Amino acid sequence: MAPGSTLRRLLNGPDLVMAPGAPDALTARLVERAGFPAVYMTGFGATASVLGCPDVGLMTQTEMVTCARNMVRAVNVPVIADADTGYGGPANIERTVREYLRAGVAAMHLEDQAAPKRCGHMAGVRLVTAEEMLARLRCAMAARGDGDLLIIGRTDSLAAGAGMDEAIRRGRLYRDAGADIIFVDAIRRIDDARAVAGAVEGPLMISLVEGTEAGGLKPDEIRHMGFGLALYPLSALLAAVRAVGEMLAELKRTGTTSGCAGRMADYADISAVVDLDHYRSLDDRYRAG
């Protein structure tokens, strides 16, 4: 089954589709091995991993497509990808959609931010008009054609300070324009999650970030509200940064990583994640002589 069709089937099921964020293909493999039905290519994480920089619109379309393609190749579950604002005007949006389709992405989200874009939880987020965002969505859906790719309409109204009423208004407009999933970003409070789910019909996506009240919601609570898809965009990245930082501090302080050994994977662990046995079997089967 094609990735988009697989994701549609999951969304039509009874359970919340949980998609932890991955900054790279290795983390995407870990998400899949943990048993999650989908993985989210986080723009925040990809920017941090590839450039070592904040998510302030520095990643180009080709860099993001490369990240998405690598994840799709690494896993067998649907990949949901951040596509920022489409990386320019209509011609850029058309190319972005077609490149994500060729990469095998199941779904991509476009946002209604003005340049320079920001992570949805940063200060300084600004919006384009709803009319400009509707044009972006119409362009994306035309570029998709009959392709198996879900288009997610994202509004950053809450982060931009436009308020819940505007977030709901835009969510409804993007749904009516034909977006497959609606995504109101930067939901921090449980009451805000309930407000969005109660006012915007159709498939809904929520992003849950550590340190917010909404971030503590359980899957059955989220599903009961009416959301079908939940992203956990930073969880894996935050855990990894803390773990690596603590190991390096131990090495610098003591000259050895012995004190961290119990918290580190071993060679066998990482070999299993990257499927070393598969490549060994290829050598065994096809080695000359």
87's tokens? 């990386």
Structure letter (DSSP) for residue 152: E
H helices present in 75-189, as ranges: 90-103, 130-144, 164-176
Could you give the 3-state DSSP secondary structure of residue 205?
strand
CB 78 within 8 A of CB 106: yes
pLDDT attached to residue 1? 84
What value does the mean pLDDT take over residues 122-143? 96
The domains of the chain are located at: 3-240
Say if residue 224's pLDDT is above 70.
yes
Residue range 247-257, pLDDT digits in tens: 999 999 999 99
Neighbour-count burial of 157, counting CB atoms closer than 10 A to its CB (0-12 exposed, 13-18 middle, 19+ buried): buried
For tokens 């879900």, the residue is 150
Say if residue 241's pLDDT is above 80.
yes
Helix axes 61-74, 90-103, angle to 10 degrees: 20
Residue range 146-169, pLDDT digits in tens: 999 999 999 999 999 999 999 999
Say if residue 289's pLDDT is above 70.
no
Q: What percent of the chain has pLDDT over 70?
A: 100
H helices present in 111-177, as ranges: 130-144, 164-176
Cα–Cα distance measured from residue 152 to residue 174, given in angstroms and rounded to the nearest whole number: 9
Say if residue 212's pLDDT is above 90.
yes
Neighbour-count burial of 187, counting CB atoms closer than 10 A to its CB (0-12 exposed, 13-18 middle, 19+ buried): buried
Q: Mean pLDDT for the chain?
A: 97
Say if residue 76's pLDDT is above 80.
yes
pLDDT attached to residue 288? 77
CB 228 within 8 A of CB 7: no
Question: What's phi and psi for 181, nearest 5 deg?
Answer: -140, 145
What value does the mean pLDDT take over residues 19-43? 98
Homologous superfamily of 3-240: Phosphoenolpyruvate-binding domains (3.20.20.60)
Cα–Cα distance measured from residue 42 to residue 277, given in angstroms and rounded to the nearest whole number: 29
pLDDT attached to residue 122? 85
Which residue type sits at 147? G
Question: What's phi and psi for 270, nearest 5 deg?
Answer: -70, -35
Say if residue 66's pLDDT is above 80.
yes
Q: What percent of the chain has pLDDT over 90?
A: 97
pTM of the model: 0.96
Buried b / exposed e over 51-63, threshold 16 CB at 10 Å, is eeeebebebebee
